[in-house]
Amino acid sequence: MNSDIAKPKTVFVGMSGGVDSSVTAVLLKNAGYHVVGVYMKNWSKDLPGMKCPWAEDLADAKRVATKLDIDFRIFDFETEYHAKVVDYMIEEFRKGNTPNPDVMCNQEIKFKLFYDIAMSQGADFIATGHYAVSEDGNLKLATDTNKDQTYFLYRISDEAILRTLFPLGKMLKPEVKQLAAEFGLDNAYKKESMGVCFVGEVGIKDFLQEYIEVTPGQIIDRDTGEALGTHEGAVFYTIGQRHGLNLGGGLPYYVVGKDMAKNLVYVSKNLNHLNLWTKTLKLKDVMIRQIHQESGDIQPNLSKLTCRVRHRAPLISCTFNPETNEVTLNEEIKHPAAGQSVVFYDGDICIGGGIIAE
Nearer to another protein, 55 or 274 (CB): 55
d(CA 83, CA 193) in angstroms, rounded, equals: 22
What's the closest the beta carbon of residue 20 comes to another protein, in angstroms? 20
What's the closest the beta carbon of residue 211 comes to another protein, in angstroms? 24
CB 8 within 8 A of CB 34: yes
Nearer to another protein, 59 or 260 (CB): 59
Closest listed residue to residue 285, CA positions, set 332, 352, 205, 349: 352
Among 2, 62, 177, 247, binds another protein (CB under 8 A): 62
What's the closest the beta carbon of residue 114 comes to another protein, in angstroms? 16
Nearer to another protein, 55 or 313 (CB): 55
Nearer to another protein, 59 or 357 (CB): 59
What's the closest the beta carbon of residue 74 comes to another protein, in angstroms? 5
Kindly state whether residue 299 participates in binding another protein, applying the rule CB under 8 A: no
d(CA 227, CA 90) in angstroms, rounded, equals: 28
Contact positions with another protein (CB under 8 A) in 121-180: 122
Widest CA span in the chain: 76
Among 13, 15, 27, 70, binds another protein (CB under 8 A): 70
Per-residue binding string, another protein, 6-45, x by CB under 8 A, is -xx-------------------------x-x---------
Q: What is the DSSP letter of 272?
A: T
189 by Cβ neighbours in 10 Å (0-12 / 13-18 / 19+) ranks as exposed
CB 346 within 8 A of CB 275: no
The Cα angle at residue 139 between residues 135 and 145, in degrees rounded to 5: 100
The set of residues, in sequence order, having a beta carbon less than 8 Å from that of 220 and lying 6+ positions away, is 226, 227, 228, 264, 265, 266, 267
Kindly state whether residue 74 participates in binding another protein, applying the rule CB under 8 A: yes
Q: How far is CA 104 from the centre of its chain?
A: 7
Kindly state whether residue 114 participates in binding another protein, applying the rule CB under 8 A: no
Q: Which residues are catalytic?
A: 105, 197
Nearer to another protein, 59 or 315 (CB): 59
Kindly state whether residue 72 participates in binding another protein, applying the rule CB under 8 A: yes
Among 31, 50, 59, 212, binds another protein (CB under 8 A): 59
Closest listed residue to residue 201, CA positions, set 191, 213, 211: 191
CB 65 within 8 A of CB 37: yes
The H-or-E segment that residue 283 falls in is strand 277-288
Kindly state whether residue 56 participates in binding another protein, applying the rule CB under 8 A: yes
Contact positions with another protein (CB under 8 A) in 229-268: none
Helix axes 204-211, 87-94, angle to 10 degrees: 90
Among 1, 66, 285, 303, binds another protein (CB under 8 A): 66
What's the closest the beta carbon of residue 18 comes to another protein, in angstroms? 17
Nearer to another protein, 51 or 242 (CB): 51
| Cα dihedral 161/163/169/170 (nearest 10) | 120
What's the closest the beta carbon of residue 9 comes to another protein, in angstroms? 11
Count of chain residues binding another protein (CB under 8 A): 20
Q: How far is CA 38 from the centre of its chain?
A: 20
Give me the residues that bind another protein (CB under 8 A), please.
7-8, 34, 36, 54-56, 58-59, 62-63, 66-67, 69-74, 122
